[in-house]
Amino acid sequence: MAEDKLKALRKQIDEIDEKLVPLFCKRMDTALNVALYKKENGMPIFDAEREKAILESLSASAGKYKGYASVLYGTLMDLSRALQHDIIDSSGMPADEKTTQFDASLPCRVACFGREGAYAHIAARSIFNEAKIEFFPTFADTAAALLNDGSFDYAVMPVENSTAGSVLEVYDILINNPLYIVAGIEIPVIHCLLGVKGATEASIKAVYSHKQALSQCSEFIKAHGMQQIEELSTAAAAFRISKENVVSLGAIASKLAASQYGLEIIKEGIQNTSNNSTRFVALSRRLSSSADADKISIVFSLDHRPGTLYRTLARFAALGLNLTKIESRPKHSGKFEYMFYLDFTGNINREETWRLLSALKNEMQDFKVLGNYHDRLADMH
């Protein structure tokens, strides 16, 4: 019977696994002893050349399963190395950074991308209780204010839109500068048709907004036969029609923009889909965390070899860390190398997590912790 044959084969696998588990445990115990020896003699954990030679030798002995063996033993080595970091004091990152505390309730000065009434303005007001907010027209200007003007405590910028994807320029700023994420907030994008007093849906013949907002409200615009005119931002569009003061012009922007520029909300929620939101982050010059920090963001590059990403992710799985985002983009080296952005749930003050991050920093190229922070959905009511 075919079913009996399958049961017999599965039994063989179970018997093999019963033999493998004790060997795995013995290997990990031996790795611990190696760690103790290295600690006593001041030796580094990672010996890249030795691991490479062993991996090549073991893989070659696996015959037709060479590729599978390479992944298996590479992962075993990574897990052994992670265990050794639990024995040897982790020194990959300054310990004082881990204890820096972030408190959004304190008075502060915030550099904010955009202008009054923009969604970034909503994000900044939602994150900070008592903030003096100043606005800058570009991401670079916003970051420069925080980096170069000691009177600014934080900066607020967008990092991701649910329909348009990541804001790569902001990630580049994070990678290339000593800036860190200390808070995250998701702002639902609720576009409104705004007009001056007396304007109606019927009277508005042309509508101003940012190109992305125009695209996100394309169905409403088409249904009303409105001309589309691009502006630098949704808030800039609201500001413009407030100055034009004619009932034939409208703007697509937020409710806050309407309040900011004395405009009427003619129709709320005109976007094509309700499942649209933008994630904003607050940046600081120091890596900080709070008691409720539940997300960690990192960026790193890997050797261009098969299985390296898989093996790296296996180390997170071994600690039960849940990955919420992984994204790659080319480095600017011109050598087909990639940077990987990774978000996962956790707190940097958990000892196992800190040791993992320290180990990765010691082993990887271009590794950086972008931040450990609380990420939440804004209450728009």
List pLDDT tens digits, range 348-361.
888 888 888 988 88
User: Does residue 96 carry a pLDDT above 60?
Assistant: no
Q: How high is the pLDDT of residue 354?
A: 87
User: 226-240, pLDDT tens digit by residue?
Assistant: 999 999 889 999 999
Percentage of the chain beyond pLDDT 70 is 94
Pairing assessment for the beta strands 131-136 and 365-377 based on DSSP bridges: unpaired
CATH of 95-188+277-377, one of 3.40.50.300, 3.30.505.50, 3.40.190.10, 2.40.400.10: 3.40.190.10
pLDDT at 318 over 80: yes
| Number of helices and strands in the chain (H, E) | 13, 15
Supply the pLDDT for residue 340. 93
Q: What is the pLDDT of residue 95?
A: 46
* CATH 1.20.59.10 domain extents, the chain: 2-87
The answer, yes or no, to whether residue 61 has pLDDT greater than 80, is yes
Q: Is 113 a catalytic residue?
A: no
Residue 246 in 3-state DSSP?
coil
Question: Residue 174: is its pLDDT beyond 80?
Answer: yes
pLDDT, position 160? 92
pLDDT(304) > 50: yes
pLDDT, residue 329, reads 84
Is residue 335 very low, low, confident or very high in pLDDT (cuts 50, 70, 90)?
low
Q: Give the distance from CA 346 to its chain's centroid.
A: 13
Written as six digits, the tokens of 209 are: 């907004």
Task: Write the CATH number of the domain with boundaries 192-268.
Answer: 3.40.190.10
Residue 173's CB: how many other CB atoms inside 10 A? 21
Residue 208 has pLDDT above 50, yes or no: yes
Provide CB contacts within 8 A for 189, sequence distance 6+.
119, 161, 216, 271, 276, 277, 278
For the segment 166-189, the average pLDDT, to the nearest whole number, is 94
Question: How far is the C-alpha of 269 from the C-alpha of 192, rounded, in Å?
Answer: 6
- The model's pLDDT over 247-264, given as tens digits with 9 standing for 90+, comes to 999 999 999 999 999 999
Pick from 360, 364, 340: nearest CA to 352: 360
Catalytic-residue membership of 353: no
Give me the mean pLDDT over the 144-173 stretch. 92
DSSP annotation string for 170-236? HHHHHHHTT-EEEEEEEEE---EEEE-TT--TTT--EEEE-HHHHHHTHHHHHHTTPEEEE-SSHHH
Alpha carbon of residue 59 to chain centroid: 35
Q: What integer pLDDT is reported at residue 381 of this predicted model?
A: 57
- Structure tokens given for 257: 């923009």
Nearest-CA neighbor of 365 among 321, 307, 304, 322? Answer: 304
The percent of residues above 90 in pLDDT, for the chain, comes to 56
What are the start and end residues of each CATH 3.40.190.10 domain in the chain?
A: 95-188+277-377, 192-268
pLDDT at 254: 94
Please give the Cα distance from 94 to 99 (Å, whole number).
Answer: 10
- The catalytic position among 278, 344, 353, 367 is 278
Please indicate whether residue 46 or residue 174 has the higher confidence score (pLDDT).
174
CATH H superfamily, domain 2-87? Chorismate mutase (1.20.59.10)
pLDDT tens for residues 66-76? 888 888 888 88
Calculate the average pLDDT of the chain.
89
Output the pLDDT for position 380.
65
Q: Is the pLDDT of residue 333 over 80?
A: no
Phi and psi at residue 186, to the nearest 5°: -100, 120
Whether the Cβ atoms of residue 153 and residue 285 lie closer than 8 Å to each other: no
Mean pLDDT of 82-106: 67
Report pLDDT for 260: 95
Give me the catalytic one of 280, 300, 344, 367. Answer: 280
Residue 94 pLDDT > 50, yes or no?
A: no
Mean pLDDT across 326-335: 78
Q: Give the C-alpha distances (Å, rounded to integers) separating 62 from 8, 67, 208.
A: 24, 8, 65
Confidence of residue 300 (pLDDT cuts 50, 70, 90): very high
